Structure 1
Amino acid sequence: MAMLEWASRCVPPASINPRFFDPSLMFPPIVIPHSWSKPYFFPRPLRVKPPIKKETTRRIYLIRNGETAGMGTQREDVAYRNHSVYAKMDINQAVVTVSRASGPDAYADDPPLTQVGYSGAQLVGRSLSKRSLNIHTVYSSPSLRCIQTAISIIGAMNSKKPLKIRIEPALFEPLRFCTKIPSFLSSDDLVFNGYNVDDKYMPMMSIDDLKVLLKTEMRPRDVYARVERAVQRILAGRKEGGVLVISHAPILDAIYRSLTDRKDMPRTLGDLQRMVHNYPPCSVTTLQQDPMSLKWENREHLVEPLSYWHVTTMVNVPNFNS
């Protein structure tokens, strides 16, 4: 009813000339409530990100340690010869030294990484971080160069929860390469240097066991028998996701042949020594298990190799059938 009255008042009389008609005199102003003048923000719909699916494919990444400061002026034991004071003799030497109870002489048998070795390991970690590979376990040889390689890779992966390293003496290099077992970093040394090591892990073999094997491990098949037991320990863990194994070239080859059921084996000590050319420093060999047949296959293109100038980290598995 009120609306009709307002409309009747708004109709101009017929006597008014339309040319001089002023609507403001006839139409009452519309009063807008004060509450309407406040801006109203429509809530945005919540963007729910789809959950990231964890990779369940079972893979083992065989990674050789980075470049080692064990040659010429890069040798750490040589750098300490001047009254046990660390001297920079090469720009490729490590910037940060490692504190160890056994002293600088231990570097002769257990050398650290060079700057190039650190950089190569970090590039491997970045390559692994680009994919959701669900890497959950890291195994390493007790050698300092392998532990530092593992530390650099883990640091570059930027995981929400940093992975702890499981030190396994069974992954140490062939004992025929040594005249004695090196003085590895002790548990106190590892803690003092800030290395994130899994102290709850019980290794399959101890350092004392290596000292016993030093006199009996004479042939390549003895090395492969030792590694075979380490492989069984690794496979006994989680059945999904990825495992990193950082070790030496002959040991990685032994793991590769054990998992892929290769029948050809190295025959001489020279065959083992030449494997440093088949598995370059910071090389990555990716083995993936088929969920149906449970066989392990080489996925060489999953992690890209590192190439610089005329050097590449591409793996070339040797063939001993001929």
Structure 2
Amino acid sequence: MIQGRSKWAVAGRVHSSYTDSDAWTLHRAISLTTNKSSDSKFDSGSNNNVEMATNYPHEDAEKLGYEKSEETYKVWEQYWKTAIEHKTENILNATQDAEGKTNGASKNGDMNVGKSGKSNGVDENSKADRRWIFAMRHGERVDLTYGSWVPFCFDENGVYTRKDLNMPLTLAQREGGAESYAKDAPLTRVGQMQGYLVGEGLRAAGVSLRHVYASPSLRCVETAHNLLQGFRSDPSLKVRIEPGLFEYKMWHAAKGMGPFMTPMELHKAGYNVDLNYKPYAEMDVHAPETIEEFYKRNELVIQSAVKDTEAEGGNIIFVGHATTLDLMVTALKRLQQGKAQYPEYQLTKFLNRVPYCALAAMRDRPLELVSPPCPPSINSSSGRFDWKMLMDIANE
């Protein structure tokens, strides 16, 4: 059940992305004006599409790493299809039509893609005053990197020992111990660095942050924490733990959901979280939910956070899952349009192509999707090296 502002409530845990097809490419401004919504607030008496100039240095490297990325996405596409089909009955009904064809983003409303790099309808002098609103996926996670890792890294007394250099040096004490870590995995060391690099990139681009919200998944909290480390933020800027940003619960219904770390546990573990923050939504980890209910709790958080911080000002970032990028764009588009009713939310077809620490960016007044101000980050995969293969050479 979703409630308004509420006290902290632990939530379940879910995998991050799903579906297949076109890339989520944020390489130019996209007006959120639709051809079908003349009654929306995007249509302010003008037929001009609002665009934002995108002349960041990284914009001319659109094809950098393209082929390698495509190879990676094919692997992830197969992974998510297998994972979801095996773990949740009839999950594909949420993303397919009656003929079994994958539903695309047009189900959530068409968007017009800007074809020029010039701003059309936006006062150039006002751009500096327009807020940035970001959505970011978490970094590389231990469980999807190593598979079943807890039996190898925890002894019978629940003591953790890392068995690979890419694993965390230490793990904090938490309720449920190893079992909770099995259901709510941390970041790898590479994942921590990925978050740090995005923070560093935003700082280098001259972008400030004032409001940071994170899904309660440990991987998301750690990503937000490392983002602020790379950003070199003042300690007064704290991560607000928001259960409403969590993923679709039913993706993990077969495995069950363990408790997340509480804000106090995270604080004691060294994460700079806001202990006074009261979340917009709480989740019952034991109750099932539909795709629409999943969307609504995320929508509540995103729209409320944007509205409630408008008077104070300052840029916002939501650190969550692969779905968070799509959810932010959809939620803010609907906020701006202000219609009474919308079609039921459906997962879009590009979610399996949202890599770790992918960053989506929007600007307000008017709301529009734009190129992120910092470059993306591409990583290669690395398998485990077996030194024993050299024994044949050594023994010759």
TM-score (norm 2): 0.57
**In the alignment, residue 192 of structure 1 is paired with which amino acid?**
K
Displacement of 1:163 in angstroms is 1.4
Displacement of 1:100 in angstroms is 1.0
Moved over 6 A (4+): 262-266
Out of 261, 284, 290, the position equivalent to 2:359 is 284
SS of 1:200 mapped into structure 2: coil
1 CA distance for matches of 2:380 and 2:267?
38
Q: What's the counterpart of residue 237 of structure 1?
A: 308
Q: Larger radius of gyration, structure 1 or 2?
A: 1
2 CA distance for matches of 1:192 and 1:126?
25
Out of 272, 284, 294, the position equivalent to 1:223 is 294
Q: Could you report, residue by residue, the CA deviation over 1:9-44 in whole angstroms, capped at 9, with x for unpaired residues? A: xxxxxxxxxxxxxxxxxxxxxxxxxxxxxxxxxxxx
Higher mean alpha-carbon deviation, 252-261 vs 107-116, is at 252-261
Root mean square deviation of aligned Cα: 2.7
**Residues 1:67 and 2:140 aligned together:** yes
**Residues 1:259 and 2:332 aligned together:** yes
Mapped contact 2:153–2:162 kept (Cα < 8 A) = no
Q: What's the counterpart of residue 44 of structure 1?
A: none
Aligned length: 245
Q: Could you report, residue by residue, the CA deviation over 1:180-223 in whole angstroms, capped at 9, with x for unpaired residues? A: 342111233122112111122110122xx3336x32x12x2222
Q: Could you report, residue by residue, the CA deviation over 1:96-133 in whole angstroms, capped at 9, with x for unpaired residues? A: 21221221110111000001101111110100111332
2 CA distance for matches of 1:141 and 1:258?
16
Q: What's the counterpart of residue 33 of structure 2?
A: none
**Residues 1:187 and 2:263 aligned together:** yes
Out of 193, 208, 225, the position equivalent to 1:151 is 225
Q: Which consecutive residues of structure 1, in runs of 5 or more, have no partner in the other structure?
A: 1-53, 312-322
**Residues 1:57 and 2:130 aligned together:** yes
**In the alignment, residue 331 of structure 2 is paired with which amino acid?**
S
**In the alignment, residue 357 of structure 2 is paired with which amino acid?**
C
Higher mean alpha-carbon deviation, 230-239 vs 58-67, is at 230-239
Q: What's the counterpart of residue 9 of structure 1?
A: none
Q: Could you report, residue by residue, the CA deviation over 1:118-159 in whole angstroms, capped at 9, with x for unpaired residues? A: 111111010011133231010000110000000100011112
Q: What's the counterpart of residue 111 of structure 1?
A: 185
1 CA distance for matches of 2:370 and 2:204?
16
2 CA distance for matches of 1:72 and 1:302?
29
1 CA distance for matches of 2:148 and 2:199?
25
Q: What's the counterpart of residue 304 of structure 1?
A: 375
1 CA distance for matches of 2:303 and 2:372?
26
Q: Could you report, residue by residue, the CA deviation over 1:274-317 in whole angstroms, capped at 9, with x for unpaired residues? A: 7552321111001111x3xx3x2122242211123599xxxxxx
Change in Cα spacing, 1:266 to 1:169, as seen in structure 2 (3 Å) is same
**In the alignment, residue 205 of structure 2 is paired with which amino acid?**
R
Mapped contact 1:79–1:86 kept (Cα < 8 A) = no
Question: 1:65-104, aligned counterparts within 5 Å?
Answer: 65-71=138-144, 73=146, 75-83=148-156, 84-104=158-178
Displacement of 1:67 in angstroms is 0.6
Question: 1:22-61, aligned counterparts within 5 Å?
Answer: 56-61=129-134
**In the alignment, residue 174 of structure 1 is paired with which amino acid?**
Y
2 CA distance for matches of 1:104 and 1:221?
33
Displacement of 1:74 in angstroms is 6.1
1 CA distance for matches of 2:267 and 2:227?
19
TM-score (norm 1): 0.69
**In the alignment, residue 195 of structure 2 is paired with which amino acid?**
A
